[in-house]
Amino acid sequence: MTAPVVVDAHGHTLDLAFHVGRPLNAALGGTTDVPLMRAGGVTAQLNASWTPSAALSGPHSHSVPDPPAALNAMLDFLDEQLAGPTGADVLVARRAADLVAAAETGRIALILGMEGTDAIGGDPAALEPLHRRGLRHICLIHEHSNEFGASSQVWEAGDMRRYRPGVDPEGHLSGRGRELLAEIGRLGLLVDLTHLVEPAFWEVLEVVAGPVIVSHGGARGLCDSPRYLADEQIRAVAATGGVIGASPSPLGPSDEAPGLGMLLDTVDHLVAVAGSDHVAIGTDFKDQLGYYPEPLPHIGAFRVIGDGLAARGHRADAIEGIAGANFFRVFSRVVG
């Protein structure tokens, strides 16, 4: 790389622009957008498009009756935006070279992904058309159990709670889930294990060849929640050559305090367990303006992460890796 690639490994800029109906390169009134990324020195974001099924997820403002239609509408919006003036500011990263091109030309690269697989409805044949449209990432599970196993969050009587081992059904990788993983591997999509409960995590990991990611979250050694990774899981992700995205966002419901301190504590723990080569940053920023305190209220302050890591004794080369080079290595190997 001749220009530093700085990556937010999990964000929602495209989702936010689509829902508020503003140009993709405009200020969006949330915690992530293209002007803020530029201000923060971020050159790329994995946008995990969120189209949860209203029939399967909780009754919230983002659930939709037809997830495939909702995702394709979002991608139609993206195509329309890139065909206009926004195309001078944003590109879709279909391969690793696009991440470098964005960094070198001052544009923002969006890596297109999905948070949860509601938009493919368990059908492996639904993946290839989305891959042609630029999809390069799948977070296997989000708001409910599916073919890959159980989710670490459970909707109950309209409220979301943590998965309760021994109380909620375990959920296991099914035959259809294996078919989906085979197609994901054939197409060269990033496999994201965020939100999978531990039994399913291990089952999926036995099947997937090559590096995997956990795009955002925390460490169970810091907060004892099934939504975070135990140290053994952290080492297992590292053993694939993958990365784990530390986040300033609690994977709630949680009593953790969001912000820079949470993120830095998570990075410290991940580095201690797996080494700095397997750590990234995944903000999970979207529309939560006012939720995150200074000095990291939004992605425009991304540079304070590096400052904070340096103050905690992390080497400059390790910080460069955590800020983007580690993710770039995995993206290059999986996607090409």
- Residue 73 domain-assigned (yes or no): yes
Q: Which CATH number belongs to the domain containing residue 181 in this structure?
A: 3.20.20.140
- Residue 116 domain-assigned (yes or no): yes
- 43: nearest Cα among 97, 4, 94, 85: 4
3-state DSSP: the chain helix, strand, coil percent, rounded to 5? 40, 20, 40
The count of structural domains within the chain is 1
- Residue 154 domain-assigned (yes or no): yes
Query: pLDDT value at position 159?
Result: 84
- Residue 1 domain-assigned (yes or no): no
pLDDT-derived band of residue 160, with 50, 70 and 90 as boundaries? Answer: confident
- 153: nearest Cα among 180, 173, 128, 171: 171
- Residue 17 domain-assigned (yes or no): yes
- Residue 125 domain-assigned (yes or no): yes
Pull the structure tokens for residue 220: 């169970």
**Residue 202 structural domain:** 7-334
Per residue in 140-157, pLDDT (tens digit) is 999 899 999 999 988 887
Lowest pLDDT segment from 47-56, 68-77, 230-239, 249-258? 249-258
Kindly list the distances between the CA atom of residue 20 and the CA atoms of 4, 146, 155, 284, in Å, as whole numbers in the listed order: 31, 29, 26, 18
- Residue 137 domain-assigned (yes or no): yes
- Residue 2 domain-assigned (yes or no): no
Backbone angles phi, psi at 208, to 5 degrees: -75, 130
CA dihedral 94, 40, 18, 283 (to 10 degrees): 80
Contact present, 318 and 271 (Cβ < 8 Å): yes
Per residue in 269-328, pLDDT (tens digit) is 999 999 999 999 999 999 999 999 999 999 999 999 999 999 999 999 999 999 999 999
